[in-house]
Structure 1
Amino acid sequence: MNKSKYSTAHTLPIKRMKALLFAACLLSTCCTWAQDISKKKSPGGRKISADLFGLFFEDINYAADGGLYAELVQNRSFEYAPGDRRDWHPFSFWQYITPGYSYGTVSVETSSPIHPNNPHYLVLNAEHVGDSGVGIRNQGFGKIPVRAGDGYNLSLFAKRMSGAPVSLQVSIEGKNGKMLAQHVFEIAASEWKQYNCSLVPSETDDSATLVVLATSKGKLALDVISLFPQKTFKNRANGLRADLAQLLADIHPKFIRFPGGCLVHGDGLGNMYRWKNTIGPIEERLEQRNIWGYHQTMGLGYYEYFQFCEDIGAKPLPVLPAAVSCQNSGGTWRIGSTGQQALPMDSMQSYIQEVLDLVEWANGPATSFWGSKRVAAGHPAPFNLQYIGIGNEDKITPEFQQRFEMIYQAVKAKHPEITIVGTVGPFPEGEDFSKGWEIAKSLSLPVVDEHYYSKPEWFVSNQYRYDTYKRNATRVYIGEYASWGNTVKNAIAEALYMISLERNGDVVAMASYAPLLAKNGFTQWKPDMIYFDNTRVSPSVNYYVQQLFSTNQGDTYFDNVVKYETADSLFAGGCVQDKRTGDIILKLVNAGSTVKKVNANLSKFGNIVSNADCTILQGDPAAINSMDKPNAVVPVRSTLEVKKDLRYEAPPMSLTVIRIKTRKP
């Protein structure tokens, strides 16, 4: 055997083995180092609800008709009644006019309506038309605002009731009686027929009226006289007022709860809000009295609510009655009132089916009965309904509990994919609150709805409320909350409280300020988030707090990032991260009267971009936005230089949002 060959043959494997061992050690060291780096760049944190901040809409303060719903004619279907208000009747907000020495008669009748749900209509008998005609005038919701050059869709239903066709002139008149736009129909059909045209005013006028005149002799019936701006939100037919809807869209809410509120369970069983009455053609919808003392046309109905949610990327959260009426029914607005009425037990199966039908209408295929109605309305795809609320601020009586449990179990059995939101009464404590939570725990409800309105000081002193709630149990939806006022002090107190909602975003599933909208001069409840009149909007300071939190929501919360020199109940800070963008978001709230020095340790987040976006909402504690000064207090944006060890001085009475981008390694 050749020794050199033998030696070479054995020494090469040994060298290779040493090299492999070295490489393995190096690889192990690199892996350990990489793991350490990975740990440093994966800061952990606590998952929070993806649907934390949203909106709550209720038709209160003329929020729908005369507000968000863009209809310009008031009492378009002649369905107003003394039940709405004592001095109202089917001809309210209409004026009978006989210009130019004309004469005739006008009456409201019910013998031959378009649809049983819409029983009243107007009969106009033009006996002598003179120089102008015989007709009616509508002043809208405190006059009709129009803009020069914009199109307005006029529609009405009419039928001829005399021998010859009748010429019908529709026009928009300015405040001085000047003709701004007009169109003439010939009413020849002896059965109900819809007539449509576009009116384009020649001048802008905030105090216009709609005039409908028979300009030839004859008798005809009229109903559902409607005037809509073509420039609605997303240009939707039967749509929403563009400026108000855009303000809501600008919040970027994760959900919208609708249609109430106390409106849902209504003033007595006959006044409960029934979703099926609010879909389909508007002339077939069943109008009814509003629990807040006016009227609902239902033009803004379930289809429009769902469509709006889809348009702005918010999840729909419809709330249905728990088969009981409001405990304050009959005007018994007092704590512990007993006006609650319950549907008879022999009606419960039918009512439960009504709830189940909503899921089919929203999510069912086109081949299903209720899904086909959604398709017929213009929406072939499902709405992807995920949440349904059952009940609102109800008094927790045995009648309520029995019916709620029946509804809950039925929906859970047939649609386990739907999350039911329960209710625990109108207050943050007390008998109904305790009983409601007992029901929630016994049924293992996924979410319950808490409500509270209080002074700013309550929100400051209760900012640790949810720190003590049980984890991995029934979660909380704060469906209605607000401090009593729209000053900077109120808004900043709410911001302080919202820091705690993010901190407890694993317990608090959703939250929405309430009420949302209030029309100037038609307000039953204050405070509200947005005030408006026919032409102007005024977002409150509270609006901007909600917007800043909602548009800067994260999905993970981090403890012990924000620290400050002295513990103070008037200061709160939080840190979240949006994992989609990698952005780190600091929210700092100073409800005190002096500057607060803050330190944020960002070392756990790896690479950060030094130029951060900084938005500050600040003002005098008593400052307030108004219709005349809508921009008195608004957020101010700037750029802030940041480091891993961020030091910041939070101004007094302020909310600061610092959004920091991160670089990928």
Structure 2
Amino acid sequence: MNRFTKLASFKKIILLAGVACSCALVAQSQTTGGKKISTDLFGLFFEDINYAADGGLYAEMVQNRSFEYSPAERREWNPFSYWEYITPGYSYGKISVETNEPVHANNPHYMVLTAEHVGHEESFKGDAGVGIKNPGFEGMVVKAGEKYNLSFFARQLSEKAVTLKISLQKKDGKNIAETNISTASKDWKKYTATLTASETYDTASLIILAATEGQLALDVISLFPQNTFKGRANGLRADLAQLLADMHPAFIRFPGGCLTHGDGLDNMYRWKNTIGPIEQRVEQRNIWGYHQTVGLGYYEYFQFCEDIGAKPLPVLPAAVSCQNSGGTWRVGGTGQKALPMDEMQDYIQEVLDLIEWANGPVTSEWGAKRAAAGHPASFNLEYIGIGNEDKITPEFESRFKMIYEAVKAKHPEITVIGTAGPFHSGEDWEKGWQFAHQLQVPVVDEHYYTDPKWFISNQYRYDKYNRDSSEVYLGEYASWGNKLRNAIAEAVYMTSLERNGDVVRMASYAPLFAKDKFTQWTTDMIFFNNTTASLTPNYYVQQLFSANRGDLYFSNVIKKDAKDSSLAASCVQDSKTSDIILKLVNYDSAVAKTMKVDLSRFKKMQPAAEKTVLTGDANAQNTLQEKNNITPVTSAYNISKTFNYTAPPMSLTVIRIKMK
């Protein structure tokens, strides 16, 4: 059955609106009430690309904390990477990386530090000893008066205890925080301490010195600010997490796109490897060319969703790896590999175990593990994605079908989201949708990145979709660029997502984060470094739509020239607050344009409304050096039953109206 030709039922006859907010096909006539649309329409997509997790959102300050870096990730890397051997005060000794008796089998490498001779502090300025130094991710940022939680595992290998001098140190050798710890066990033991910074500094290093002679093993050397988001242990960088909270997303998709199914079967993201104590998690190579500690793992993702009131949307591999495995990205996609059939039952159980871990009672096996981690209550999981823009091969289809039917049979309350390839059209898109129809998959994940003109030309794409079939999750999309014109083109398209919120269940811009100097994908929503972040115009557009979601859509409220594709608009109502929310978009870069607003169907409106406008030069963009070129401006705005609104060139306007 062709998705675009089947007629909808009589109650959902498609209407052509000549001069209306939709200016296109809509699902049903709305002469009296609004059309119900998804309450989960706008959310976030998170993937550890561009150093978004380690060195980014995940607040760990030590790089290569478990000595697990490898040449398989980068040729120049090894277990010693980002650790400098130091011997101040004419001391001497040695270090080595061992694997004989690790803290845990999942974390095989650890460092052995031998202090053969410790010099005298009087002979120079500073501490004497044999030790190691870690600069973190391009320097550790500390703030005067703030506290930092240090932890590490140590095993005393010499007969006598070893005294460690631990400090945060400036480049000139001055300590700005320090503490002493002595080993107390010949078995692995976790040690903790608090370091308080005496001054603000943005390129500090962590120093661990053996100040007495002896030998010990060290592993999982970790430093976190106490001031993480919501004060969570093993938590998130507070400023970056707050930027996401400020968007008020309906959901968060994680752990990514391509990261999910990985670079080969051994690199697939397996959720069970990412929960439990961090020393027991399985670190691995990141498909984007670096390392992932999975310290930001499934527990932390679910917890963050709960902290900001967003629904969790975990996406698991469909038992196949990325078709671009082995360096075949954009070169034909010949690298997809599939788990052997004799492993499929175990893998299906892994998927089912995730649902139990998220939602099961504390008396269940996996619910008990969630409770042991500190969360006895259910995480209230509703959605689960299977697959990520996979090539629609027979191997994919057979394995997806097995997983989907198993989840549907045991957990009919869970909405499974399928996949339809990496493009807005083409073979995989067509095969993906055909396959989804056959299985009656409730929601299908579409991905596409393209230029702004495509978004303008295709703003009626979803008006044509069948309302009696699978719904859409637009899981990854963006126009190529972070200029204002890119963001406003996306705003035009997002009004169409609202208009079609009865068939488009969810949408999320991607990628989310990009770290300065560590960016593999150049069109992103938030650019950041160790101290600050730059919010792109795309961020503000996403925020304005997400923070102003509605659950009812009204057509024929905002009228504009039907032939002018540069204009778009939508009208929604949030039934929880009763607020009426208007979004008016002008993509023309030179001319202000007028739209007519007719609110006569709404009763008891307050005349004093709030207006927020994002506008400026079409080619303007925010950078880390110039962060405020483009920002939304909010002001009071008086409305009446009918009025004309003149939208500035290249602008998005949101008008929020309170009811009496």
Give the TM-score taking structure 1 as reference length: 0.93
Match 1:625 to one of 616, 622, 627:
622
Per the alignment, residue 82 of structure 2 pairs with 93
1:537-580 CA distances to partner (integer Å, 9 max, x unpaired)? Answer: 11111000000000111101111110025630000011111111
- State the alpha-carbon separation in 2 of the partners of residues 268 and 96 from structure 1: 35
**How many Å separate the matches in 2 of 1:605 and 1:599?**
16
Q: Equivalents in 2 of 1:176, 1:105: separation in Å?
A: 24
Larger Rg: 1
Alignment of 1:150-165 (within 5 A): 150-165=146-161
1:640 match: 637
- Cα distance in 1 for residues equivalent to 2:172 and 2:632: 41
Write the mapping of 1:383-398 to structure 2, written as runs, cut at 5 A: 383-398=379-394
**Amino acid in structure 2 at the alignment position of 1:643:** S
Q: For structure 1, which segment, 399-408 or 175-184, has the greater mean C-alpha deviation from structure 2 after superposition? A: 175-184
Name the residue aligned to 1:30. none
2:648 corresponds, among 646, 651, 654, to 651
**Which of the residues 227, 234, 239 maps onto 2:223?**
227
Within 5 Å, give how 1:142-541 maps onto structure 2: 142-541=138-537
Is the Cα–Cα contact under 8 Å of residues 47 and 555 in structure 1 kept in the other structure? yes
Matched residue, 1:123: 112
User: Is 1:106 paired with 2:102?
Assistant: no
Shift of 1:606: 1.1
User: Alignment partner of 1:388: what SS?
Assistant: strand
Shift of 1:129: 1.0
Q: Which amino acid aligns with 1:488?
A: L
Alpha-carbon distance in 2 for matches of 1:43, 1:631: 43
Structure 1 segment 493-642 matched on structure 2, within 5 A: 493-565=489-561, 567-592=563-588, 593-642=590-639
Deviations 1:154-210 (A, max 9, x none): 001001001100001110001221111111111120000000010001110001000
* Whole-Å separation in 2 of the counterparts to 1:646 and 1:113: 71
The AA in structure 2 aligned to 1:142 is E
Contact 1:448 1:476 in 2 (8 A): yes
Partner of 2:5: none
The CA distance in 2 between the partners of 1:182 and 1:303, in whole Å, is 32
Query: Contact 1:164–1:188 (CA<8 Å) still a contact in 2?
Result: no
* Residue 43 of structure 1, CA deviation: 3.4
1:25 maps to none
In 2, Cα distance between equivalents of 1:170 and 1:70: 20
Match of 2:66 in 1: 77
3-state secondary structure, aligned to 1:416:
coil
Does the residue aligned with 1:322 lie in a helix, a strand or coil? coil
Match of 1:138 among 134, 137, 149: 134
Q: Distance in 2 between matches of 1:472 and 1:651?
A: 39
The answer for unaligned runs of 5 or more in structure 1 is 1-40
RMSD of aligned C-alpha atoms? 0.9
Q: Distance in 1 between matches of 2:145 and 2:271?
A: 37
User: Which stretch shows the higher mean deviation, 602-611 or 118-127?
Assistant: 602-611
The letter for the 1-side match of 2:327 is G
| CA deviation vs aligned residue, 1:383-420 (integer Å, no higher than 9, x gap) | 00000000001000000000000000000000000000
Asked if 1:68 corresponds to 2:57, the answer is yes
Could you tell me how far apart the structure 2 residues matched to 1:574 and 1:373 are? Answer: 45
State whether structure 2 residue 48 is matched by structure 1 residue 51.
no
Distance in 2 of aligned mates of 1:219 and 1:393:
51
The structural deviation recorded for 1:42 is: 9.4
Aligned-pair CA distance for 1:312: 0.2
TM-score by length of 2: 0.94
CA distance in 1, matches of 2:148, 2:323: 42
Rounded Cα–Cα distance in structure 2 between residues aligned with 1:440 and 1:376:
38
Structure 2: stretches of 5+ with no match in the other structure:
1-29, 121-127
How far the C-alpha of 1:628 sits from its partner, in A, is 1.0
Distance in 1, Cα, partners of 2:562 & 2:591: 12
The amino acid that maps onto 1:87 is E
Instruction: Give the C-alpha shift of residue 372 in structure 1.
Output: 0.4
Query: What is the alpha-carbon distance in structure 1 between the residues aligned to residue 414 and residue 452 of structure 2?
Result: 35
Q: How many residues align?
A: 623
Corresponding position of 1:35? none
More helix by share: 1
The one-letter code sitting in structure 1 at the alignment partner of 2:93 is G
How far off is 1:582 after superposition? 1.1
Q: In 2, Cα distance between the equivalents of 1:483 and 1:540?
A: 13
- How far apart are 1:335 and its partner, in Å? 4.7
Choose between structure 1 and 2 for higher RCO, CA contacts under 8 A separated by at least 6 residues.
2
Judge conservation of contact 1:565–1:597 (CA < 8 Å) in 2.
no
